[in-house]
Structure 1
Amino acid sequence: MSEIVTLRDGTQQTSENSFTVINGENGAGKSAILRIISDAALGLDASRSKVFASAIGIDQVGSVSRTIAISGTHNDRFPLNSGVEFRLNSNQFDLMHFYYYGPKQSGNYTSVSKASNTIAHSLLSDEQSSGFPSKQLTALLEFLGFEPEVRIVVQTGIRIKRREEFEYLLALERHLRSVQAESSMPSKIPQSFEFSISQASLLSERGAFRNLLGSRYSGAELSVDLRAERTIQVFDGPLFSILQQASSISLPQTLANFISLGLLTSKIVLFRKSTRNEVRLEDLSSGEWQLLYTLMNLSINISPDGLILIDEPENSLHPHWQTEYVSLVRKLISHVRGCHVIIATHSPLIAASIMPSDGNLIRLMRNHLSGQLYAHMEETAYGWLPSDVLQERFDLDSARPPELTRAINTALRLLKLSSEPTDNLRQAAEEIRKLKRYLPAHDPLLPAADAIIDIAFPDEGGPRDKPHRGE
């Protein structure tokens, strides 16, 4: 039996970027479906998610300019690539317009160093297809409590310090041309990158640059001010002087290319809005790190008609930030049009943030016995209480702890049969007596719990002597 589900309803009046939220129980295949959609958008014939790929077909309407994958979980199914780095083992996939921002990279965890290099590369590159989103990035930094300014400390990289730089760069240039010749897809590698390889090869034979590569160079600083348009202030240093004298392209783009080559690495410094205290990337909380790393790169690198796939963004986010998440994404891509954002989530707060003008919800269900996958399009739950979203959109009968729910349901089922204080009713009421003390004093379940206890223990008059939480 086949089923057709439209992720983006063409008859629905939507805003200029649309959203689809997919929810479903663990094992329903949400992450796998994101991978299948990603592979289809990239024109890949086979998907790694073989369990579901054979049963799911993707019909794509229109073209996708680029695919950006964001993950809040280490167990996402997104394909791996080398990020902003180009290496001797990079392949055709590393050239495709696919961008991954999440907790893993090249099979390993995304380290602070990798995240810093990715952010620095995005901020410094001149290759944005839709202009630089200063307004959007300012909103993100202010949301996180930072000034709209990013300090980048550039240092010599470590990738080739143990090799002969000249030979390595020649090999890298040959490898890039070979991979480009084999690929039939448009490349995300900027035209200036190949020039930077040749430039680096020449510089590697000069004494001043070789001395920097071979030393423990403390680094040079530059500041990216986002208050109006992107303004980059460069502080004097020997590295910048050498690069500016040797290059015909802009210094920021040269630095971005040299980061991709592994010749340079970077550190990111932010400034607290209230105190101007410096905060390094490694000092951020997990939630701050996740929002800064993923959404800053998203806003800079998204292009019109892009596809944005987001897997479990609620991880590490306080409920307040979960309620703000969709609004943040909406704001950070507001400078482009025609994008489709697909979010797989377990969070009712995120599901309740999708406006009717944004798009729709998809409920995903899988019969684990037959393997049949079911999907149902639903109206949005914008503005609903979390308890209503859990019940109506996540099929959760109650958001209360299962022990209390079972005891209440057992007692009610017994009372339907008889109002006599049987042993089974007393056992259920005893459990309710033990658990109800943790409920807040205003909880609407308390009168029902007290009534059950009164019926089960008529001679005691109910355990009213035990205070509830909040009394």
Structure 2
Amino acid sequence: MFRIEEVSSPRCKLKFSSRTRESNQVSVITGPNGSGKTEILKTLSDWFSRLPQEQAPEHLHVRWKIDTPLAPTWGPYDEQNFPPRVIAQTFSPFSRFAPPKRDTRTLFDVYANQTTEQCLYRTIGIHSGTQVVGGPLGKLTLEQGIFRLSEAPEQTQNLGSVLDSLRFERRINLQYRKNAIGESLFSAYTQGHLRDLLSGKKTFASNVHGISVDLSLRREIRDTGIESLSNLLENVLSALERYLDRDGFQFVLDFREKQASLNYAALKALSLLRRLDALTLERCELYPHLRKQIDLADASSGQQQMLCSLFGLFGELSSNSLVLIDEPELSLHPTWQMGFFERLDAILQPFEGCHVIIATHSPLIVQSALKRDFEVIQLRADTPNFQMNHPLRDQSHASVEGTLLEVFGTPVTGSAYLANELFEMVSVSETASSEIRKETLVRLEWLESLYQNSQGIVTQKEDLDLIQRAIRLVKVGGE
């Protein structure tokens, strides 16, 4: 089990609990704007994006724990104690997550030697260096997640249930168009001149990108060698022949008939050609229940985000990973916010020992976390620097109105939750000790202040009158 214990950012210091009821730990950080939620995630992103090649920033502090079969170990001390994977995910255009390092492996390293990527830090969605947004980013994120499935074919059925929960059939159709370099490779392969092409005896087809397209393949020739690269490409192009149409390829990843594992050679082949800029993804088709198929770009923003988020996570996860998710509620319908953890559970199910840390403004996600007894940590914008913020564990707050009031400090007009709380406080104070009555008055005065200073939120005078009447009754009962 990998677990973050403590994080110190420029604004605050945060401790996480050690409690977990399941094989993975989920912690939810919430609070108003300016309280430091995203900063905590950014601190972890900055820290782990530099490891193991660089030293972590001196002004930041992170402490974690890894439970091994022999004994627990604490970081940061030894490179062996690093988590195998740190994944930062957000689709916010204001993302401050650090960008990942460039993968320096050759195609031969990846697809022939099965060399694993050394950098432990990965990103999904948007990071501080992202230049592609919108529909193209969604397609790219989903495609990369699908390509990484080739490393774990036995786990793909979990993604079928994710598609089903989003009201899609359990299949995805990828349509690719060959560009100039792809045309050249396939033409040379079918004519038996692939080695001649790679050695320069045959020329590439003309293309609008000029020599820049040529360079990606030239680098592979330089780093791998003509003979090894030629053998690799022959295997790749052979694996794709059955999917070839006039202009490119159509590839269906089908979770219904449990055929996905049979197509992984083709998935790897497509991934290799995409890295060579030999193919362009034209369409990523989904099949809504009882409706005609649609391109991912035509799906709702919420559907796009859920698909890209969950497929992206599944493609990157391994056991004992650290997962950072910022604002998962973006573009999600309230119903999907309430079901967020169910879908996350489906993705985490094959793995164990992961620590998932989520920063959110959503009362529905916080409510769901409280009901599941996940760790929920409330930050306050007015908390002094480096003061510890304590987790919320009171299950009585696990309603939408209760979460808005108790966790987010947001007054709710005509709230049944508020009325019930006031009735209970007055009733208890009638026979309570003086110490309990003092605590009750402190809470009532906090509610009074909240409803008096609602910062632009329209509240009813009746709510404030009800709170002030409760204050008078508690005071009278103590006399």
TM-score past 0.5 threshold:
yes
Give 1:314's aligned residue.
329
CA separation in 1, counterparts of 2:94 and 2:227? 36
Question: Structure 2: which 5+ residue stretches go unaligned?
Answer: 1-7, 67-81, 107-116, 182-206, 419-457, 470-479
- 8 Å contact 1:312–1:346 — kept in the other structure? yes
| Identity level (%) | 23
Is it true that 1:59 corresponds to 2:90 in the alignment? no
- The within-5 A match list for 1:293-372 is 293-354=308-369, 359-367=374-382, 371=385
CA separation in 2, counterparts of 1:445 and 1:366? 25
- 8 Å contact 2:367–2:398 — kept in the other structure? yes
Give 2:255's aligned residue.
226
The more displaced of 56-65 and 316-325 is 56-65
Give 1:386's aligned amino acid: V
Q: What is the deviation of 1:274?
A: 1.8
- 1:381-435 CA-to-partner distances (Å, cap 9, x unmatched) read 4872111112222233x1349xxx9xxxxxxxxxxxxxxxxxxxxxxxxxxxxx8
Give 2:190's aligned residue.
none
- 8 Å contact 1:68–1:307 — kept in the other structure? yes
1:135 pairs with 157, 161, 164, which one? 157
Give 2:132's aligned residue.
109
Give 1:169's aligned residue.
217
Q: After the TM superposition, list the runs of 4 or more consecutive aligned residues in structure 1 that deviate by more than 6 angstroms.
A: 82-87, 194-197, 200-203, 446-449
- 8 Å contact 1:22–1:361 — kept in the other structure? yes
**Cα 1:281/1:365, change in 2 over 3 Å:** same
- The within-5 A match list for 1:63-82 is 63-81=82-100
CA separation in 2, counterparts of 1:195 and 1:140? 42
Give 2:407's aligned amino acid: R
- The within-5 A match list for 1:80-229 is 80-81=99-100, 96-103=119-126, 106-125=129-148, 127-128=150-151, 130-157=152-179, 161-163=209-211, 167-171=215-219, 198-199=229-230, 218-227=247-256, 229=258
**Cα 1:335/1:315, change in 2 over 3 Å:** same
Q: What is the deviation of 1:374?
A: 4.4
CA separation in 2, counterparts of 1:219 and 1:22? 46
CA separation in 2, counterparts of 1:287 and 1:331? 18
Query: Matched residue pairs, number?
Result: 353
Give 2:272's aligned residue.
257
Q: What is the deviation of 1:138?
A: 1.3
- 8 Å contact 1:132–1:300 — kept in the other structure? no
- TM-score (norm: length of structure 1): 0.64
Question: Structure 1: which 5+ residue stretches go unaligned?
Answer: 48-52, 88-93, 178-193, 210-215, 235-248, 406-434, 452-471
Give 2:78's aligned residue.
none
- 1:1-24 CA-to-partner distances (Å, cap 9, x unmatched) read x986432x33x3421111000012
**Cα 1:346/1:299, change in 2 over 3 Å:** same
Give 1:399's aligned residue.
412
Give 2:287's aligned residue.
271
Whose helix proportion is higher, 1 or 2?
2
Corresponding residue SS for 2:88? strand
Give 1:412's aligned residue.
none
**Cα 1:312/1:382, change in 2 over 3 Å:** farther
Give 2:217's aligned amino acid: L
- 1:84-133 CA-to-partner distances (Å, cap 9, x unmatched) read 9999xxxxxx96233322245843133433432342343244653x5443
- 8 Å contact 2:88–2:122 — kept in the other structure? yes
**Cα 1:117/1:72, change in 2 over 3 Å:** closer
CA separation in 1, counterparts of 2:130 and 2:385? 29
CA separation in 2, counterparts of 1:59 and 1:38? 14
**Cα 1:444/1:325, change in 2 over 3 Å:** farther
- TM-score (norm: length of structure 2): 0.63
**Cα 1:147/1:364, change in 2 over 3 Å:** same
- 8 Å contact 2:176–2:280 — kept in the other structure? yes
CA separation in 1, counterparts of 2:23 and 2:219? 45
**Could you say what the CA RMSD is over the residues aligned between the two structures, in angstroms?**
4.1
Give 2:74's aligned residue.
none
**Cα 1:168/1:148, change in 2 over 3 Å:** closer
